[in-house]
Structure 1
Amino acid sequence: MTEVINASSNISSLLLMKHNDLLLKSQQSHSKAIEEIANKMDIEFVNFNEFSDIHEFRSDLYGDNVRKATWKKNSRPVILRSVPGYSIEDHHKKLTEEIRRSKSNMNCENIIQLLGVTEDSSEKNAVLVIQHPKDGTLKEYLSQHKDLDWPKKFNLAKDIAYGIRHLHKAGIAHGDLHELNVFIEDGKALIRDPRLFGFDDDETSSSSTLNSDVLSTIPFVDPQVMGDMKHKPDKRSDIYSFGVLMWELSSCKSPFHDTPFGNGNQVLLTMAIMVRKTREQPVPNTPEEYVQLYQQCWDHEPDMRPSIEQVCEQIEGFLYDEPVITGKSLSNSIVIADIRASSEESRKSHDNLHPPSLSSSQLQSSHSQNDNEKPLSLVPPEPKYQDANLSEPISPKTLAKINKEIEKSKGIKKFKSKISKIFKKMSCFS
């Protein structure tokens, strides 16, 4: 009997050893495959021990299973994002697709880049090493650089516009542009390709601005998207968001931050933007041409907004062409010193990627042949919005008037109730 038990025990031990040996070989094969995929696709494979200060990082931008770390070789912060997969084959397929898409952005320095691939030995999964701009979000950056001069503001606007243009040329609508989703590194602005790092198979962004910090992102949402929750953000929605970002650059503060709209009343803010077409007032001493451009971008009617190509042409004109800024401003007199000279170095770095900008007449001519592209007018636009005077505190009387107008709007009670439920539901997860 003892001999039988010993024999059985030996067989179990042998089976366990064989199982462990097969498992080890499988893991080694998996690890080798990850490295081979990275090498084959010309992406750096990084040993996991080259990272330090690894800790969990909550991020709406990159989703779950995200960690922040420091890459020892250059002391730069990076994001470590595990690649999911229900099988080894699926895992390798997702990794390959992620690298392929990332490489399409390597010629645009205004898109967050994939820096490499590593493998977490504890998880036995491929991990993406993603650029994490060291100067933080646009909101954080502007709060620390309130004295930003106009040449730098123009360059940041140009950077964001170039990032959007890169996506739009690829047929991608970002759909989630706002102050917490634009990043700064060494004075340069970067945005994320929404196809990447979130592992969504849709060719357009499926993310909704309402999924992030609610109050901070409402001002950046296209009113047409607010009015129809089933309506997906499109390229025109990106232009609207960009217009609000341009205003934020001009003020170095978040939109509506110092008004009752920015005091936790998400429903009122949503209704004011959507129903009353409320927008922030231009900041004193902002160049008129700059104001005209962002007001065209945030036009309530999507078809009236310029294309990203037109936006880039105008911003390049601010920086490189014959001076379009003559010292005129919204209030007081200002002179912006040689913006073109201060931006010459930036222009040289883009010459190989971006052709020289057209004059305004060439721009209008080049777009007139396309019914979908509306030329920009250099004539100051007529007042179109019922703007609250946001440069001063809004009185209770003004708030009451806004609420009254909202309540009179057709079908607004039902929508207001719907918005309230959405915010209430979202607050449970914050």
Structure 2
Amino acid sequence: MTETATARKRLFHKSDELKFCIECGKERCSFGWCKDCETSYMISNFKTWTSFNDHIDKLIQRTQLNATQTCDYLEFIDYSQFDMIKYVSRGGFSTVYKAKWLEGPRWNWDEDDQGWERSGPIDVALKRLDNSQNIHLDFLVQIEEHCKCLQNGYLADCFGITRDSTGCIMFVMRFYDNGNIYEFLDKVKGIITWRDIIDMLWGVASGLEKIHSEKRCHSNLHGGNLLIEDESISTDARISDVGLNGPCDKPRSISQLYGVLPFIAPEVLCGQQPNQSSDIYSFGIIMWTLASGLRPWHDRPHDLELARLICHENLRPEVDEVIKDIPNLYRELMERCWDSNPSNRPTASELNNLLGKWIICICDDPNTTPISEEFFNAEEKRWDLIGKQLNTNNFPKVVIHPEAVYTSVDTS
């Protein structure tokens, strides 16, 4: 037998090993994941942990029993597993800390034992829910809906739940070094390429398409819950807090509205419930935020007058004076997203397909197209302006109005 034939035979046997479980012989439903064996493993461990809340325990157990791959479930993680805990930031109804998870998730595949091993120490974010010692059943329903979106590559990774020494619930999530959109833009002084802008938006659109395809909506999409993963080949945005908003210790009320005012659709401000089209409005404001490098309406109070102007005067963030290099097709899509008539807005699926087409034209198509030419011209204008600012060190100073609020609040 030739060396090539031997290699092919070895590869065939290897793929066959990965396809079938060495313990029970049944076919695996995904890489390294035998549904029966992993479910048995999870059940055998149920008695070894508790969150001291039956509803949360059952919720975690349901994610484990329904898991079809290694990143598809939550686990309860004892608080003693976290070290080097440091405060990061404060949100509307939560506080975020950075910590080292000593064991890490079951993410490493052991070729010899044909099983999953823990990764070892990794950085995580601990999101502490205010007053969650008395978490309300209504918020547990929100968490349940959130968990149904775990298997989505464009959502921020959530590993599980823990309780701190005060009894508060904390989500254990991947720590993203670049923070959210605002922190990322501050870090790079608003200097990002049009390619990176489209890359980030494509990730958000893909995540929204997945959420909307499951008959859900995010309901509180804004720059603070889009987390940035800056890799060597691309800059990606991950969606967090799907369906989670408001205080966790109070019952839900359809008359109460929690969110960040600049990102809330006018029809929602006027009393309608958040829905998929209001997510698209928020997406349009995110398009403006990335293109401008600024927070929307950073120079004025986020008050009833701003809400009135958005709803009744069709006020939107300034484009002509702020984004001088904006491509026409980008502007047209952005303005469709924030159209006052929800039926005129594109769907998440349309956004995903369109932005994917733009990325291909910009990055992969060797031929010049009208789309690539428009973005290349915009890129040249952008870097001409940035070059002048770098030469003179004359970057515009942005002052945030003390009554401009970018964390979720009660806007009812």
TM above 0.5, one fold?
yes
Residue 237 of structure 1 is matched in structure 2 by: 278
User: Which amino acid is the alignment partner of residue 291 of structure 1?
Assistant: R
Q: Distance in 2 between matches of 1:265 and 1:32?
A: 44
Q: Would you say 1:263 and 2:304 are equivalent positions?
A: no
User: Which amino acid is the alignment partner of residue 235 of structure 1?
Assistant: Q
**Deviation string, structure 1 residues 35-80 (Cα, Å, up to 9, x no partner):** 986575454443422212446777446x35x562402434513114
Give the aligned CA root-mean-square deviation in angstroms. Answer: 4.3
Q: Distance in 2 between matches of 1:428 and 1:103?
A: 24
Q: Would you say 1:164 and 2:208 are equivalent positions?
A: yes
| Residue aligned with 1:320, SS | helix
User: Which amino acid is the alignment partner of residue 81 of structure 2?
Assistant: E
Distance 1:126 1:271, change over 3 A: closer
Q: Distance in 2 between matches of 1:86 and 1:218?
A: 28
Residue 123 of structure 2 is matched in structure 1 by: 76
Matched pairs, number: 293
**Deviation string, structure 1 residues 284-312 (Cα, Å, up to 9, x no partner):** 22222111111111111111111111111
Query: Contact between 2:49 and 2:76, CA under 8 Å: does it hold in 1?
Result: no
User: Which amino acid is the alignment partner of residue 305 of structure 1?
Assistant: R
Q: Would you say 1:52 and 2:102 are equivalent positions?
A: no
* Higher mean C-alpha displacement, 248-257 vs 40-49: 40-49
TM alignment of 1:357-396, pairs within 5 A: none
Question: 1:134 offset after TM fit, Å?
Answer: 2.9
Higher strand share: 2
TM-score by length of 1: 0.56
Query: Contact between 2:98 and 2:124, CA under 8 Å: does it hold in 1?
Result: yes
- For the pair shown, the structure with the greater C-alpha radius of gyration is 1
Q: Distance in 2 between matches of 1:171 and 1:220?
A: 21
User: Which amino acid is the alignment partner of residue 167 of structure 1?
Assistant: I
Query: Contact between 2:219 and 2:243, CA under 8 Å: does it hold in 1?
Result: no
| Residue aligned with 1:254, SS | coil
Query: Contact between 1:50 and 1:72, CA under 8 Å: does it hold in 2?
Result: yes
Question: 1:139 offset after TM fit, Å?
Answer: 1.3
* Higher mean C-alpha displacement, 279-288 vs 48-57: 48-57
Residue 242 of structure 2 is matched in structure 1 by: 194
Percent of paired sites with the same residue? 22
2:326 to 270, 286, 294: 286
Residue 156 of structure 2 is matched in structure 1 by: 112
User: Which amino acid is the alignment partner of residue 236 of structure 2?
Assistant: K
2:289 to 241, 248, 256: 248
Question: 1:233 offset after TM fit, Å?
Answer: 1.8
TM alignment of 1:399-418, pairs within 5 A: none
1:315 to 323, 334, 355: 355
TM-score by length of 2: 0.58
Distance 1:31 1:333, change over 3 A: closer
Distance 1:305 1:53, change over 3 A: same
| Residue aligned with 1:299, SS | coil
**Deviation string, structure 1 residues 366-394 (Cα, Å, up to 9, x no partner):** xxxxxxxxxxxxxxxxxxxxxxxxx9xxx
* Higher mean C-alpha displacement, 303-312 vs 199-208: 199-208
Query: Contact between 1:289 and 1:324, CA under 8 Å: does it hold in 2?
Result: no
Q: Would you say 1:272 and 2:306 are equivalent positions?
A: no
Question: 1:148 offset after TM fit, Å?
Answer: 0.7
User: Which amino acid is the alignment partner of residue 124 of structure 2?
Assistant: P
Unmatched 5+ stretches in structure 2: 1-45, 66-72, 103-120, 381-395, 397-404
| Residue aligned with 1:300, SS | coil
| Residue aligned with 1:155, SS | helix
User: Which amino acid is the alignment partner of residue 125 of structure 2?
Assistant: V
1:219 to 262, 286, 289: 262
Query: Contact between 1:326 and 1:335, CA under 8 Å: does it hold in 2?
Result: no
Q: Distance in 2 between matches of 1:286 and 1:148?
A: 13
Query: Contact between 2:76 and 2:162, CA under 8 Å: does it hold in 1?
Result: yes
Q: Distance in 1 between matches of 2:334 and 2:311?
A: 17
Question: 1:232 offset after TM fit, Å?
Answer: 1.4
| Residue aligned with 1:79, SS | strand
Residue 173 of structure 2 is matched in structure 1 by: 130
Q: Distance in 1 between matches of 2:126 and 2:179?
A: 13
1:140 to 180, 183, 188: 183
Unmatched 5+ stretches in structure 1: 1-28, 210-216, 337-390, 392-422
User: Which amino acid is the alignment partner of residue 314 of structure 1?
Assistant: L
Q: Would you say 1:328 and 2:380 are equivalent positions?
A: no
Distance 1:77 1:324, change over 3 A: farther
Query: Contact between 1:160 and 1:189, CA under 8 Å: does it hold in 2?
Result: yes
Residue 3 of structure 2 is matched in structure 1 by: none
Q: Distance in 2 between matches of 1:113 and 1:160?
A: 14
Residue 150 of structure 1 is matched in structure 2 by: 194
